[in-house]
């Protein structure tokens, strides 16, 4: 249909455009954060490496007979301390691997693997012990500092071999080749230095060379792909699969061999074990502690530096210069020590300050050099050999690890992908960290062999809509267009491809008394929103005389489920709007999700491989490609009002891209809106994400990934017992609660039970509308509460089996969830006790009387909920919430007053209150972008009785009501008022949708339509029996709604298109099997209603019986009185206490305070851990994500003031908006 060109009136010079905000990341602030973080980490790595190496070398010098800090008869003490340093990392690895072996991966290696691991670890442990315990104590400090660099000899040999195999990498042969040369030259000079000038240390020199070569075997896994022996390749793979068991074996071997060497060597010395004191020297203990802690922390910060993409400045450079600076530190005393006599006595007793203490240690260490013959007699040749050997070894290490300088890593990397082994080497910290870094071996591509291309990730954004308002639709459409601009289909970025889908429920309405079906007002509003945003993002010629642009390559298609609109967005990505007719296909959110799951993962993904199979392609090859596609196909589930930035999507993609076991990932959800109900939810969401979500992520995995903004892996959804089970139609009362009231949580439960991990990324922000009135909020939580409890009980019920399948869920984590569940169930009783306490203080009531009075209002409300309609229940709850809010304000004052009365805050309730305030303020401070949420904390606190007492009662008693309760109303919009409604929307005279019909009335309407038009419904059923019948018999209806909709688009759409016959067959088959509209069965409905009431009664009995037990126990303990109370002395803030003034504590109250405080502290420390890794991910994202230059649409307003020399009435945008919108 060709449209007449439209022009904007030449005199219409004013414009009104929406404010579309891009990424809220100021570049300067981001760069400052990156620079500060990376610099801080680099400095910490450098300082910790210096502490580790210095303390270890001091322990080595203590074993030298020329040093005097440790008496000669106590030299074995120093050797024992060196042994502790050697086995320290092995002990840590043993503890970590044992934990993981018991609670996570318990795979056992094969016998060949065990034998190989034992051989390698015996060799490495023997070499390390011989080098550090037997040989190095006899050498001078310069040799000891640098000889550790020679352990890279075998790695250099392997690198030379690897570069021969690499394609076009012959130039990389130079560094490892020269590394071998310098290390060997260092060995020669070292041997000459000690064998020619001092022949008494021949054995020590030989042992030192033997030890360094043995230790260099430690990193063989880094070059395992080079081995042509098939058994070694199998062993390497087996070691990865059974890494926990292998780590346990290697750790135990290291500990045993090191202990054996120490025991044998000390026994052979003149002093022997008898001379070793039971109590170690203080300086030795201090150095062992410093070395152990600094080494562990240094390794952790190195991992942080690598994940922040700061390898060069925060990892490689500190490691390279650590040895040089340590050597300079040890040689610094030469300035004032050379004049001293060799017989000068050095003791720590003379040193009082820390400066003198360090000076004495360094002076003692330099004695190992000053007592050598080449220094005493100033033999130039010997000194030159000493210095050159040290320089050669250092250059050898630098050249053998120069590959790290050019190492390419992903934006987010797993530690096991960065480093070969799990742990560092205590004696060779910087050498082990660099040599342990993953070495990429270039595969030599044979002739006629094509390199395998990098697999592109395909992300399908799937939003479900129903009765969203104009503003809500505008949010998600802007977000989609913004993402299209961020990642153009044919842009320079080829890592991710996006495709957008909107599934619009109930998009059609009856006209002419049911004789026809046309798109309703909500679908037409969506079309208008897309048109407005499309023109803004298309950035056409701004001239007022320019013809208004048409939207190219758009389609309108009739489908078996209703209709489809296909848009090609300005930057090439595709958007599809699926208009669902509830008379043809099942409606509601879960069925829309099933619709796009089977369309994308079933039809779209499998179709090409099915055709390849029919064409004769190898089944194994097809299976391999299909598996890869499933793992790299993601679905971003969205609600119809979600607002997000491109970075939020990319951050979620990172989690799934790097961690193959992650089946879903969610971001930080921010509720939007205004009013007290929204303010309450803002703080509730904040605390839930800050503490609960992070604790789940750290201790195990997230239990629920919200459907408003969650990224799912295709392979996870297509796994057994997930997507198929998700299609289950509710047939029992519990199904309606678990399946339909909380479909997002149920889907995550299925993923967890199948072994997939669900993660939370706090840096990924999304915004969604929250209920703004009290009734809608209560109805929403009436759905969420019981469904959450049902899914949690289901997961805990299968906890043992889930723990076996899912490595992220341990038995301890299940115990944590049980405790959390118990705390949630006992919430109403806890609130009653809190209110009772306020009665006691404010009105000076007797404790049991106050408790009885506190129980009366919720009990009365519980009874009324069984008798009254839900609307009346909510009204009563609103009134009671206001009264409870005043009482809670009094509770705060009562606690403060009690602290004043007791003249101390050192009471359980005082410490609890102050501790919680400090905890929440600290948590908010660690979320600087969200710190303003603390403003709503007071409102949240005074509304606690409403949220945890009244809402709990309302939810449990009304759980038999399975309607959604949101976006519903009993009034239906009349068709005749459509134009007026549309005009109001477009002129922004109102910001709300028309009222919506309720679920019950909508079902009645459908039933009446079915009874009235039985012949037409029967004919419609017959029409979809085959694709040919569909194409012929629905032509008239198709033309009706398309012709009705096409003028609404004006210039926006090209003529309609048709589905392929195969796709028509697919939709017909899918509807028949899973998505046929549900037929009303009065008998079945009555049975389900009765079952729901029965389930409600049972759940109410159990739920409130548990709370009653808690209250009754408290009542009787209070009735017994002082006999069972715990007496503690009153402690004053200055630290003194009054022994005669005792505070009485209720045992149950104390147990609750300790339990709740313990749970919060666990969540707090989990939050700290999670914040660190969120910062790492954010810095890595800011470091690697290239931001293509793109003009912000928000700048259009400022550009309006700019004029052109040729035409003074040309504007940035040719389209005149009819309303002004601000979206943040």
The per-residue DSSP string of 514-536 comes to TTEEEE-HHHHHHHHHHHHHHHH
Residue 9 is predicted with a pLDDT of 59
**Looking at the domain assignment, is residue 13 inside a domain?**
no
**Measured between alpha carbons, how far is 193 from 403 in angstroms, rounded to an integer?**
31
Q: What number is the average pLDDT over the span 327-354?
A: 58
What is the rounded average pLDDT for all residues in the chain?
81
Q: Which domain holds residue 174?
A: 27-435
Higher pLDDT, 16 or 544: 16
Least confident of 119-133, 358-372, 453-467, 634-648: 358-372
**Measured between alpha carbons, how far is 344 from 827 in angstroms, rounded to an integer?**
74
Residue whose pair of structure tokens reads 């050997």 in the numeric block: 389
Higher pLDDT, 1081 or 498: 498
User: How many other CB atoms are found less than 10 A from the CB of residue 379?
Assistant: 18
φ and ψ at 1135, to 5 degrees? Answer: 100, -15
Using CA of residue 1172, residue 1173, residue 1177, residue 1180, what is the dihedral sign? positive
Please report the DSSP string for 167-206 in residue order. Answer: TT-GGGGHHHHHHHHHHHHHHHHHHHHHHHS-GGGHHHHH
**Looking at the domain assignment, is residue 422 inside a domain?**
yes
**Looking at the domain assignment, is residue 253 inside a domain?**
yes
Least confident of 87-96, 186-195, 856-865, 1146-1155: 1146-1155
**Looking at the domain assignment, is residue 399 inside a domain?**
yes
Residue 1210 is predicted with a pLDDT of 32
**Looking at the domain assignment, is residue 922 inside a domain?**
no
Q: What number is the average pLDDT over the span 22-44?
A: 80
Residue 273 is predicted with a pLDDT of 62
Question: pLDDT, tens digit, for every residue of 806-823?
Answer: 989 988 899 999 999 999
Q: Which two tokens stand for residue 977?
A: 């008022």
**Measured between alpha carbons, how far is 1188 from 1192 in angstroms, rounded to an integer?**
12
Would the pLDDT of 863 be above 80?
A: yes
**Measured between alpha carbons, how far is 1210 from 540 in angstroms, rounded to an integer?**
12
Least confident of 512-521, 957-966, 1008-1017: 1008-1017
Question: pLDDT, tens digit, for every residue of 296-338?
Answer: 999 999 999 999 989 999 999 999 999 999 999 888 877 655 4
Identify the top-confidence range among 34-38, 341-345, 1015-1019.
Answer: 34-38
Would the pLDDT of 969 be above 60?
A: no
Would the pLDDT of 1191 be above 50?
A: no
Would you place residue 847 in the very low, low, confident or very high pLDDT band (cuts 50, 70, 90)? confident
Give the number of domains in the chain: 1
Residue 766 is predicted with a pLDDT of 95
Would the pLDDT of 994 be above 70?
A: no
Burial 86-107 (b: 16+ CB within 10 A, else e): bbbbbebbbebbeebbebeeee
Higher pLDDT, 1171 or 19: 1171
Higher pLDDT, 1209 or 712: 712
Q: Which two tokens stand for residue 657?
A: 């891209």
Q: What number is the average pLDDT over the span 927-934?
A: 92
> Which residues, in sequence order, are bridge partners of residue 672?
769
Quick one: 123 exposed, middle or buried, by C-beta within 10 A (0-12, 13-18, 19+)? middle
**Measured between alpha carbons, how far is 990 from 976 in angstroms, rounded to an integer?**
19
Least confident of 363-372, 577-586, 767-776, 1047-1056: 1047-1056
Would the pLDDT of 905 be above 50?
A: yes
Distance of CA 867 to the CA centre of its chain: 45
**Looking at the domain assignment, is residue 340 inside a domain?**
yes
Would you place residue 804 in the very low, low, confident or very high pLDDT band (cuts 50, 70, 90)? confident
- The pTM is what? 0.84
Would you place residue 23 in the very low, low, confident or very high pLDDT band (cuts 50, 70, 90)? low
**Looking at the domain assignment, is residue 338 inside a domain?**
yes
Give the rounded percent of residues in the chain with a pLDDT score beyond 90.
47
Identify the top-confidence range among 506-515, 553-562, 938-947.
Answer: 938-947
The candidate with the shortest Cα–Cα distance to 785, out of 753, 822, 741, is 741
Would the pLDDT of 363 be above 70?
A: yes
**Measured between alpha carbons, how far is 716 from 756 in angstroms, rounded to an integer?**
7
Residue 291 is predicted with a pLDDT of 94
**Measured between alpha carbons, how far is 164 from 180 in angstroms, rounded to an integer?**
15
- Among left, alpha and beta (phi > 0; psi -120 to 50; other), residue 440 is beta
Higher pLDDT, 980 or 57: 57
**Looking at the domain assignment, is residue 385 inside a domain?**
yes
User: How many other CB atoms are found less than 10 A from the CB of residue 822?
Assistant: 11
Q: What number is the average pLDDT over the span 670-678?
A: 94
Would the pLDDT of 365 be above 80?
A: no
Higher pLDDT, 438 or 233: 438
Q: What number is the average pLDDT over the span 1015-1034?
A: 44
Question: pLDDT, tens digit, for every residue of 594-650?
Answer: 999 999 999 999 888 888 888 878 888 888 889 999 999 999 999 999 999 999 999
Distance of CA 483 to the CA centre of its chain: 21
Contact (Cβ atoms closer than 8 angstroms) between residue 425 and residue 410: no
Would the pLDDT of 117 be above 90?
A: yes
Residues 6+ apart with CB under 8 A from 467: 506, 522, 967, 993, 996
User: How many other CB atoms are found less than 10 A from the CB of residue 585?
Assistant: 23
Contact (Cβ atoms closer than 8 angstroms) between residue 105 and residue 246: no
Q: Which two tokens stand for residue 6?
A: 């439209």
């Amino acid at each position: 249909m060709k449209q007449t060109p439209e022009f904007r009136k030449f005199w219409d010079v004013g414009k009104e455009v929406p404010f579309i905000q891009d990424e809220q990341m100021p570049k300067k602030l981001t760069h400052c954060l990156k620079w500060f973080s990376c610099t801080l980490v680099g400095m910490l790595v450098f300082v910790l490496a210096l502490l580790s190496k210095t303390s270890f070398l001091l322990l080595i010098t203590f074993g030298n007979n020329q040093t005097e800090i440790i008496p000669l008869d106590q030299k074995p003490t120093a050797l024992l301390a060196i042994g502790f340093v050697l086995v320290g990392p092995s002990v840590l690895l043993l503890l970590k691997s044992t934990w993981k072996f018991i609670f996570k991966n318990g795979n056992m290696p094969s016998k060949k693997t065990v034998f190989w691991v034992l051989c390698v670890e015996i060799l490495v442990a023997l070499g390390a012990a011989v080098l550090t315990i037997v040989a190095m104590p006899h050498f001078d400090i310069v040799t000891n500092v640098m000889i550790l660099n020679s352990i890279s000899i075998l790695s250099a040999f392997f690198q030379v071999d690897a570069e021969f195999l690499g394609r076009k990498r012959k130039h990389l042969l130079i560094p490892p080749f020269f590394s071998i040369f310098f290390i060997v030259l260092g060995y020669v000079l070292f041997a000459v230095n000690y064998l020619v000038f001092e022949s008494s240390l021949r054995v020590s020199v030989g042992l030192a060379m033997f030890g360094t070569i043995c230790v260099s075997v430690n990193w063989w896994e880094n070059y395992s792909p080079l081995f042509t022996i098939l058994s070694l390749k199998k062993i390497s793979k087996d070691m990865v699969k059974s890494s926990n068991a292998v780590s346990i074996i290697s750790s135990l071997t290291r500990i045993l061999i090191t202990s054996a060497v120490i025991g044998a060597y000390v026994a052979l010395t003149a002093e022997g074990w008898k001379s070793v004191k039971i109590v170690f020297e203080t300086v030795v203990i201090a150095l062992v502690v410093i070395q152990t802690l600094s080494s562990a922390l240094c390794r952790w910060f190195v991992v942080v530096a690598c994940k922040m993409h700061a390898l060069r400045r925060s990892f490689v450079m500190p490691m390279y210069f650590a040895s040089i600076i340590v050597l300079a530190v040890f040689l610094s005393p030469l300035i004032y020590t050379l004049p001293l006599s060799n017989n000068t006595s050095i003791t720590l007793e003379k040193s009082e300050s820390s400066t003198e203490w360090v000076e004495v240690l360094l002076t003692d260490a330099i004695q190992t050099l000053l007592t050598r013959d080449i220094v005493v007699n100033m033999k130039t040749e010997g000194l030159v050999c000493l210095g050159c050997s040290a320089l050669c070894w250092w250059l050898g290490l630098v050249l053998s690890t120069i590959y790290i300088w050019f190492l390419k890593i992903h934006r987010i990397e797993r530690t096991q992908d960065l480093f070969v082994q799990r742990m560092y080497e205590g004696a060779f910290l910087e050498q082990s960290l660099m040599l342990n870094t993953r070495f990429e071996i270039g595969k030599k591509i044979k002739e006629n062999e094509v390199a395998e291309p990098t697999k592109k990730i395909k992300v399908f954004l799937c939003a479900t809509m129903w009765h969203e308002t104009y503003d809500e639709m505008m949010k998600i459409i802007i977000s989609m267009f913004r993402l299209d601009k961020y990642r153009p289909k044919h842009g320079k970025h080829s890592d991710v491809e996006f495709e957008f889908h909107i599934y619009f429920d109930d998009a059609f309405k009856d006209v002419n008394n049911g004789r026809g079906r046309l798109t309703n007002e909500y679908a037409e509003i969506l079309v208008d929103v897309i048109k407005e945003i499309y023109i803004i993002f298309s950035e056409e010629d701004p001239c007022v005389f320019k013809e208004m642009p048409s939207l190219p390559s758009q389609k309108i298609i009739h489908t078996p489920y209703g209709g489809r609109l296909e848009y090609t967005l300005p930057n090439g990505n595709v958007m599809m709007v699926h208009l669902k007719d509830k008379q043809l296909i099942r409606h509601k959110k879960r069925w829309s999700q099933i619709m796009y799951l089977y369309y994308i993962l079933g039809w779209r993904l499998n179709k090409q491989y099915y055709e390849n199979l029919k064409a004769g392609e190898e089944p194994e090859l097809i299976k391999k490609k299909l598996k890869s596609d499933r793992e790299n196909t993601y679905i971003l589930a969205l609600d119809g009002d979600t607002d997000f930035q491109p970075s939020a999507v990319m951050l979620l993609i990172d989690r799934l891209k790097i961690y193959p076991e992650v089946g879903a990932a969610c971001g930080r959800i921010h509720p939007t809106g205004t009013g007290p109900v929204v303010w309450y939810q803002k703080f509730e969401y904040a605390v839930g994400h800050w503490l609960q979500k992070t604790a789940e992520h750290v201790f195990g995995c997230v239990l629920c990934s919200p459907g408003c903004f969650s990224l799912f892996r295709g392979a996870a959804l297509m796994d057994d017992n997930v997507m198929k089970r998700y299609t289950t139609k509710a047939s029992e009362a519990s199904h309606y609660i678990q399946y339909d009231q909380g479909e997002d949580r149920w889907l995550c439960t299925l993923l967890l039970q199948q072994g997939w991990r669900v993660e939370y990324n706090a840096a990924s922000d999304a915004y969604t509308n929250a209920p703004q009135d009290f009734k809608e909020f209560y109805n929403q939580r009436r759905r969420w509460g019981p469904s959450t409890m049902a899914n949690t009980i289901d997961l805990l019920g299968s906890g043992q089996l889930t723990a076996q399948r899912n490595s992220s869920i341990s038995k301890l984590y299940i115990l944590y969830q049980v405790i959390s569940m118990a705390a949630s169930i006992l919430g109403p009783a806890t609130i009653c006790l809190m209110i009772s306490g306020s009665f006691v203080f404010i009105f000076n009531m007797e404790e049991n009387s106050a408790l009885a009075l506190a129980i009366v209002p919720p009990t009365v409300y519980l009874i009324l909920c069984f008798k009254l309609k839900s609307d009346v229940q909510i009204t009563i709850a609103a009134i009671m919430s206001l009264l409870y809010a005043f009482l809670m304000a009094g509770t705060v004052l009562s606690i403060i007053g009690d602290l004043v009365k007791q003249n101390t805050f050192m009471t359980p309730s005082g410490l609890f209150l102050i501790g919680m305030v400090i905890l929440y303020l600290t948590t908010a401070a660690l979320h600087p972008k969200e710190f303003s949420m603390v403003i709503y904390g007071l409102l949240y606190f005074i509304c606690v009785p409403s949220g945890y007492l009244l809402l709990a009662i309302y939810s449990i008693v009304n759980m038999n009501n399975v309607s959604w309760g949101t976006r519903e109303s009993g009034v239906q919009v009349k068709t005749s008022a459509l134009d007026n409604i549309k005009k109001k929307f477009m002129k922004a005279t109102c910001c709300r949708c028309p009222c919506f019909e309720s679920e019950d009335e909508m079902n009645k309407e459908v039933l009446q339509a079915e009874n009235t038009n039985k012949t037409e419904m029967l004919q419609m059923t017959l029409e979809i029996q085959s694709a040919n019948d569909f194409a012929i018999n629905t032509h008239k209806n198709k033309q009706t709604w398309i012709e009705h909709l096409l003028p609404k688009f004006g210039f926006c759409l090209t003529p309609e298109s048709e589905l392929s016959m195969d796709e028509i067959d697919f939709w017909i088959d899918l509807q028949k099997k899973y998505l046929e509209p549900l037929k009303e069965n009065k008998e079945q409905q009555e049975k389900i209603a009765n079952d729901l009431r029965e389930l409600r009664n049972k759940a109410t009995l159990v739920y409130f019986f548990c709370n009653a037990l808690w209250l009754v126990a408290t009542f009787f303990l209070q009735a017994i009185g002082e006999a069972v109370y715990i007496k503690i002395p009153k402690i004053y803030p200055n630290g003194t206490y009054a022994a005669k003034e005792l505070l009485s504590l209720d045992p149950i109250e104390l147990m609750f305070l300790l339990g709740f405080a313990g749970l919060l502290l666990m969540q707090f420390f989990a939050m700290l851990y999670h914040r660190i890794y969120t910062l790492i991910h954010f810095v890595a994202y800011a470091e690697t994500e290239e931001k293509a230059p793109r003009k912000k649409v928000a700048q259009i307003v400022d550009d309006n003031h700019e004029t052109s020399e040729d035409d003074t009435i040309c504007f940035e945008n040719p389209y005149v908006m009819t309303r002004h919108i601000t979206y943040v």
